[in-house]
Structure 1
Amino acid sequence: MTPVEKKSAPEDYNPIRIGQEPHSRRQALGKSAWIGVWLLYLAGPVGQLLQPGVPAAPRIWGFLGLALFVLTYFALVFRHMWRSLTQQVTYGSLAVLLALSLVLSWTMDFSWLVLFIFTSVASGVVLTWQQSRWAIPLVTALLLAVGWHYPQIRDYYLFAYGLPALGCGFMMVGVQHLIRTTQELRAARQEVARLAANDERLRLARDLHDLLGHSLSLITLKSELAGRMLPDRPDDAARQVADIERVSRQALVDVREAVTGYRRPRIAVELAGVRAALRTAGITAAVDPALDAEQRGLATEGEGALAWALREAVTNVVRHSGARRCELLLTEEWEADERRQLCLSVIDDGIGPPPGGGRDGNGLTGLRERLALADGRLETGPAPRGRGFALRAYVPLAAPAPAPPAATAFPEPLPDQA
């Protein structure tokens, strides 16, 4: 069986973490770069200040005003991403941006009209829809009014500055709506997981009640009966005590089977967990579709061992590998003795194994022991492409059922001859 690799879902690959707080320095730098790249549109004002012949006073005033504008813009947008802002901070920062846009674009050059676009974007980011639907057209109207001050651009400044300010502002309103919707969906998914855990606890409590209710009631009844029989009828009391022992042993067996069923890990459950772990760590997951399918011929112990292997391997990838991509593959292989083996492969592109192999940690040692109990084995080493680490866990598959024998064709009897 050849493993087929599928592209990760959009939720598995979110390097900018839109709508989420960064959990590492790399993610914070990614967010900063995504916001800072739009400052390239300030090349026009900077170029105007660097032109020869610009007096020193306007040049100093321009650089100071531009620096104040950029710092206010960054402080407003970044603080909005990580914490809720008070109305005073929000309105005050927007007022500073709008004032600088008006003064600088009026006193310096028409290229400074681009500041209105940033002000419009900031309004779409930090204001509610009821507020931004009025603020963005107002900023655009002020841009058009100031732009009319420059006759040389009256033929095209509506399309060069006015429409981008209006469009970018309302586009950010839509982006903020998508971010809020994503956050609500994420919260709803967490609530569903919590409710599912509560349902599982209720089901466990109900099953334990069904298992133990009758047995404990019977033990209590027989204990009272044995107590009444003990002085005068010791033989009958001994039989009741023997029944108590039998019932209690059976109850213990039932509880162990029930708890074992709850504690047994499953590949589907672990796969959902490792996807979330890789996504949180910013690692792209390439998952073989075979992992989502039901595995026929896989014993309960084998599935539990593979689930533990999947959890341990991905945990090591997240904590120690420094990888950017991780492949999860599930293949069926034949051994030399004609036995079928199911192989789980976890391959990353990280730093790989230490030189000389090194010793297994406690996690891998325990994993080898679990696989050995399921008649499986563990193999570790460098990734096939030469960079990264590869972990392969093997467990046996049940032999396929033999095909029913074909019906034997018997020759028809010859007719009796006269």
Structure 2
Amino acid sequence: MERGFIQIGRAPEDLRQLIAKACWTFLYMSYLYYVVEDLTEDRHTPFATAVGWGALAAFVAGYLFLVLGRRPDRLVRRRNWLLGGLYLLAVTASLTLGGAWTVLLVYVSISSGVQLPLRWGLRIVPAIAVTVAGLGLLHGMGTAELLLLVLPALLGGGAMMAVVQMGRTMRELREARATVAHLAANEERLRLARDLHDLLGHSLSLITLKSELAGRMLPDKPEAAAQQVADIERVSRQALVDVREAVSGFRRPTLDAELAGARTALAAAGVAADLDGATAGHADLPPDEEGALAWALREAVTNVVRHSGARRCEIRLEESGDELCLTVTDDGRGPSGARGNGLTGLAERLGLAEGRLETGPGPRGGFRLRAYVPLSRRVSA
């Protein structure tokens, strides 16, 4: 959970969260006005008034502990007992001090929705609403006054259960997403390990064998030993090529990932992103060409975020004949003169994929980058 972020149904983890949650708690505790008014209007004897103030203080203290206190597993049963005690206190106060005290059951219902498991909350919250209705009828409340108590008790508790359940679901989804990402990373590591094992196992075994043969042939058969050394050089060069291909495949970015990263980076920099015309997954786009476009997108977005001062960035992916064109346009300061090392390296990377790079001012100012790579139908022609 992000630091400082308050979630209903979870205890505050630091002082900032405690202050924020206390502010919200005291805000909706203003409904206790009716109870305070009942105690300050000389409706009871001095003894009953003193008992009422003590009961109110005890109720508020218990309620604040349920809302703001930490919730270790070992205290779950005690907190449930406290919740039951608040229910009995509210019912007793309503029966002895008057109908104004029935409002305390609304807070008990809300606490039940937050504190109890869903299967128990679905039973307890309606039971509390029925208790409110019964006490209201006992005190002779009218229909409107009764609904003003029953509906908050029922809907407030139900809303808290829904919010708490949603928070739990969101936490589970975050944990599942983190697990999936971890498993995907592990699977990719295993794939690379398998590829390297398959690529190097045979090559290194062959190199070892031929090295032993060359050693036995020297000095009696120098020509045959030289042939074995030549074979060792050929096998080692091929192994080096295979390893580079495996590692480049492991590190090759994809358009899907870079588009998602571009949206996040631009949003974090306060740049409005228009990606409606950017859709990855072209059927005729080979992996190497896709990797080159992904690098181009990464470099372009990095330049927009760091150097352009732009407020808006538009990203497009569209076919241009037998090529796929990536266009990144911003409304920033525009070209600054000579190409930097990033754009120079990007042009070289696109050249290796038989692509090309075009940069210059945008149609309405700013800077525009266009990266072209060939589609497979042109490559195979």
| TM tier, smaller | 0.5 to 0.7
List alignment gaps of at least 5 residues for structure 2.
Answer: 334-339, 351-355
Matched with 1:336 is none
Displacement of 1:203 in angstroms is 1.6
Question: Which amino acid in the other structure matches residue 32 of structure 2?
Answer: P
Displacement of 1:111 in angstroms is 4.0
Alignment partners' CA distance in 2, 1:274 and 1:21: 35
1:252 aligns with 2:227: no
Question: CA distance change for structure 1 residues 22 and 304 in 2, over 3 Å: closer, same or farther?
Answer: farther
1:394 aligns with 2:369: yes
Displacement of 1:62 in angstroms is 6.7
Matched with 1:301 is 292
Alignment partners' CA distance in 2, 1:159 and 1:228: 101
Displacement of 1:196 in angstroms is 1.8
1:172 aligns with 2:160: yes
Q: Deviations over 1:204-256 (max 9, x none)?
A: 12222232222222212211211111131011101111110121012112211
List alignment gaps of at least 5 residues for structure 1.
Answer: 1-14, 334-338, 354-364, 385-390, 404-418
Matched with 2:204 is 216
Over the aligned positions, Cα root-mean-square deviation in angstroms equals 5.3
The residue matched to 2:41 in structure 1 has which SS?
Answer: coil
The residue matched to 2:228 in structure 1 has which SS?
Answer: helix
The residue matched to 2:277 in structure 1 has which SS?
Answer: helix
Question: Which amino acid in the other structure matches residue 208 of structure 2?
Answer: T
Displacement of 1:165 in angstroms is 1.9
Question: CA distance change for structure 1 residues 128 and 101 in 2, over 3 Å: closer, same or farther?
Answer: same
* 1:306–1:395 Cα contact (<8 Å) kept: no
Matched with 1:344 is 328
Displacement of 1:273 in angstroms is 5.2
The residue matched to 2:316 in structure 1 has which SS?
Answer: strand
Alignment partners' CA distance in 2, 1:294 and 1:20: 41
Deviates further, 220-229 or 369-378: 369-378
Question: CA distance change for structure 1 residues 61 and 170 in 2, over 3 Å: closer, same or farther?
Answer: same
Q: Deviations over 1:169-209 (max 9, x none)?
A: 24433443333333333333322222222221222122222
The 5 Å alignment of 1:17-416 reads 28=17, 32=21, 36=24, 39-40=27-28, 42-46=29-33, 49=36, 54-55=41-42, 69-70=59-60, 72-79=62-69, 86-106=75-95, 110-151=99-140, 153-272=141-260, 288-294=275-281, 300-307=291-298, 309-310=300-301, 329-331=314-316, 342-344=326-328, 370-371=345-346, 373=348, 374=350, 394-398=369-373
Q: Deviations over 1:39-88 (max 9, x none)?
A: 44x545326646997249788877776566455434423457x8657224
Alignment partners' CA distance in 2, 1:213 and 1:99: 75
Deviates further, 55-64 or 264-273: 55-64
* 1:331–1:342 Cα contact (<8 Å) kept: yes
* 2:38–2:100 Cα contact (<8 Å) kept: no
The residue matched to 1:148 in structure 2 has which SS?
Answer: helix
Q: Deviations over 1:275-331 (max 9, x none)?
A: 67899x8x99966233443467766334223235547877x7xxxx9xxxx976413
Q: Deviations over 1:362-393 (max 9, x none)?
A: xxx8755654655758999xxx9xxxxxx967
* 2:199–2:243 Cα contact (<8 Å) kept: yes
Alignment partners' CA distance in 2, 1:21 and 1:265: 41
* 1:136–1:169 Cα contact (<8 Å) kept: yes
Deviates further, 261-270 or 135-144: 135-144
Question: CA distance change for structure 1 residues 92 and 261 in 2, over 3 Å: closer, same or farther?
Answer: same
Aligned length: 352
The residue matched to 1:331 in structure 2 has which SS?
Answer: strand
Matched with 1:410 is none
Question: Which amino acid in the other structure matches residue 41 of structure 2?
Answer: V
The residue matched to 1:330 in structure 2 has which SS?
Answer: strand
* 2:8–2:163 Cα contact (<8 Å) kept: no
Alignment partners' CA distance in 2, 1:278 and 1:21: 34
User: Relative contact order: is structure 1 or structure 2 higher (C-alpha 8 Å, sep ≥ 6)?
Assistant: 1
Alignment partners' CA distance in 1, 2:155 and 2:210: 82
The residue matched to 2:80 in structure 1 has which SS?
Answer: helix
The residue matched to 2:253 in structure 1 has which SS?
Answer: coil
Displacement of 1:259 in angstroms is 0.6
Alignment partners' CA distance in 2, 1:292 and 1:142: 58
